[in-house]
Amino acid sequence: MKCPYCTPTIPFSILTSRMESNYDRGNTSLHTPYVFRQQGVMDLKPNLVYVFADQLRLSSCGFAGDSKAITPNIDRLATESLSFSNAISGHPVCAPYRATLFTGKYTTSTGMVINEIRMNPNHRSIAHVLHEHDYDTAYIGKWHLWANELGHHYEPRNSFIPPGEHRLGFDGFWAAYNFHHEYYNMYYHTDTEAKIPMEGYEPDGQTSMAIEQLKEKAAGQKPFAMFLSLGTPHDPWDISNVPPEYYEKFKDVEFSLPPNYLEHNDPYADNWAKLRPEERERITDWLKVYYAMTANLDWNVGRLMQAVDELGLRDNTIFIFTSDHGELFGAHGRKGKNIFYEEAVRIPFLLRWPGHVPQGGESDVCLNTCDIMPTLLSMLELPVPAEVEGMDLSPFAFGEKGEEPEAAFLQGTGATANWSDGHEWRALRSKRFTYAVYRADKKELLFDNIADPFQMNNLAECPDFEPVISGFRTMLEKKMNEIGDTFESCSWYREHWTEDRIILRTATLNPIK
């Protein structure tokens, strides 16, 4: 249940009497209902700390059962949080995920159908709502919604996001860059094109910066929302791209190819997902670096959690740890993400808010990326913009019942980062099944994720499952019609709405039969 002390209109006399009665009962789990400031009593709106990794899959976390993972801090966070065990990346690619996260809209509504195109600013984001309700914001790390050309990542024209509308309402502290994946001695921008050096290992420096921001925000007069976008454990998985002390933990660990590894490339894969012969030979070495990066990520999450607690922010702060998508490492004949398989779409999502959210609890509701914005705004008791397409799943965060999605709707609108046709797909992931269809040849796939967790048996070819397939076809067509998704080719978007991201709704829905 929500804590009653979070209502800022409660008279001061009632607040003090409630505080005294709580301490008389020895109740220290609820946050102190007021804090003295120089200018009076603090507004008790909760804070938000949203930490998201890049390319960390759920299955590589210790709390999810991976015995090789060294993630003690994330594991401890899981014992203090509600875990959404069916959290899904609705479009498992960097830019589409972020666009959906901030707007609560699906990819075909945000326009971020591939990486390395520029997000149109004419969308209301979570940051707009936060600022309109007197929140201070901070954004640190990778942005990935600005660059408008393939390549030349380090040029300021692609890495510097200027102040104003293209920051989508994040008008507070800003220390970010569009994207890069080398993590030593890199840089960030604030309000000019000047590259500000980030000495040492980037995730360490970014976390230290976030801790300093926490100190400033804790001493301020406003509630705050801080987003920390860390680049690891995204490739390249070279030994030189991770601190030696973390690689040492895994250099002698034996990793094997996944059970669903295929020696031939998936015919639907784009160039980012295809594995060259020399890459296949390196997969187990890549995994050592991936797990080393994750161990360092865990250390930084622990530092941030400790700062939140030591600054007295713990009980009035929603603390979230998650990831934008996963990674396949040869599963199904693919590397990378941008596909509906579990290794790409299943992500950790831990939500801690002591006294409000069940500690060590779990919800199996299908939490999609577009659901995060309306869910968080509702938890903060802030209005959800009317154009949001995701669902408010906040009742499940509070351990209550509510309207539940039948399945998460997933979109694959093209190649990872260029205008290449033939890779488009749509999918639904329920608690039990994954159903998917490719645009190119209408091939259908159905997996029972409980009986077949590595998705090795395509039940779409089994007549016994025709009723299940039929139900998913109907559900998918209904969902696509609801949001105006006409299942176009990747290049269609380049021709019709690359600039203004306004869908010209002249096409008809491609039949999924």
Q: Are residues 317 and 466 in the same domain?
A: no
- Last residue of one domain, picked from the residues 330, 365, 397: 397
Neighbouring C-beta atoms of residue 474, cutoff 10 Å: 11
Neighbouring C-beta atoms of residue 495, cutoff 10 Å: 11
Note whether residue 152 is domain-resident: yes
144 noted as active-site residue: yes
Q: Are residues 123 and 148 in the same domain?
A: yes
What are the backbone dihedrals phi and psi of residue 398, each rounded to the nearest 5 degrees, phi first?
-90, 10
For residues 80 and 302, is the Cβ–Cβ distance under 8 A? Answer: no
Q: What local confidence, expressed as pLDDT, does residue 121 receive?
A: 93
Q: Are residues 216 and 315 in the same domain?
A: yes
Residue-by-residue DSSP string for 473-493: HHHHHHHHHHHT-----HHHH
| CATH code: domain of residue 492 | 3.30.1120.10
How many domains does one find in the chain? 2
For residues 487 and 426, is the Cβ–Cβ distance under 8 A? Answer: yes
| CATH code: domain of residue 232 | 3.40.720.10
94 noted as active-site residue: yes
Note whether residue 25 is domain-resident: no
Q: What local confidence, expressed as pLDDT, does residue 26 receive?
A: 31
User: Which listed residue (3, 6, 61, 94) is catalytic?
Assistant: 94
Q: Which amino acid is at 236?
A: P
Q: What local confidence, expressed as pLDDT, does residue 497 receive?
A: 76
Consecutive 10-residue runs of the chain (513 residues): their mean pLDDT? 32 28 29 30 80 98 98 98 98 98 97 93 96 98 94 93 97 97 97 97 98 97 97 98 98 98 97 97 98 98 98 97 98 98 98 97 97 98 97 97 95 95 98 98 98 98 96 98 96 80 40 34
User: Which listed residue (31, 91, 128, 144) is catalytic?
Assistant: 144
- Last residue of one domain, picked from the residues 369, 397, 425: 397
Q: Are residues 305 and 428 in the same domain?
A: no
Cα–Cα distance for residue pair 178/154, rounded to 1 Å = 9
Alpha helical stretches, state H, 199-260? 202-218, 244-247
Q: Are residues 372 and 303 in the same domain?
A: yes
Q: Are residues 379 and 466 in the same domain?
A: no
Note whether residue 40 is domain-resident: no
Q: Are residues 316 and 438 in the same domain?
A: no
Cα–Cα distance for residue pair 126/71, rounded to 1 Å = 30
Q: Are residues 380 and 447 in the same domain?
A: no
Note whether residue 21 is domain-resident: no
Is residue 385 exposed (0-12), middle (13-18) or buried (19+ Cβ within 10 Å)?
Answer: middle
Single out the residue of 289, 418, 339, 314 nearest to residue 88, CA to CA.
339
Q: Are residues 300 and 337 in the same domain?
A: yes
Alpha helical stretches, state H, 50-121? 72-80, 94-103, 107-110
- What percent helix, strand, coil does the chain show, rounded to 5? 35, 20, 50
Single out the residue of 401, 294, 261, 409 nearest to residue 62, CA to CA.
294
Note whether residue 170 is domain-resident: yes
Q: What local confidence, expressed as pLDDT, does residue 28 receive?
A: 29
Cα–Cα distance for residue pair 315/130, rounded to 1 Å = 20
Note whether residue 23 is domain-resident: no
Q: Are residues 180 and 206 in the same domain?
A: yes
Note whether residue 403 is domain-resident: no
Q: Are residues 323 and 457 in the same domain?
A: no
Q: Which domain holds residue 202?
A: 47-397
Q: What local confidence, expressed as pLDDT, does residue 264 receive?
A: 97
- Last residue of one domain, picked from the residues 366, 397, 428: 397
Cα–Cα distance for residue pair 229/470, rounded to 1 Å = 40
Q: Are residues 322 and 431 in the same domain?
A: no
Beta-ladder partners of 196: 188
Residue-by-residue DSSP string for 333-384: T--SS-SSSHHHHB--EEEE-TTTS-TTEEEEEEEEHHHHHHHHHHHTT-PP
Secondary structure class of 110 (helix, strand, coil): helix
Note whether residue 13 is domain-resident: no
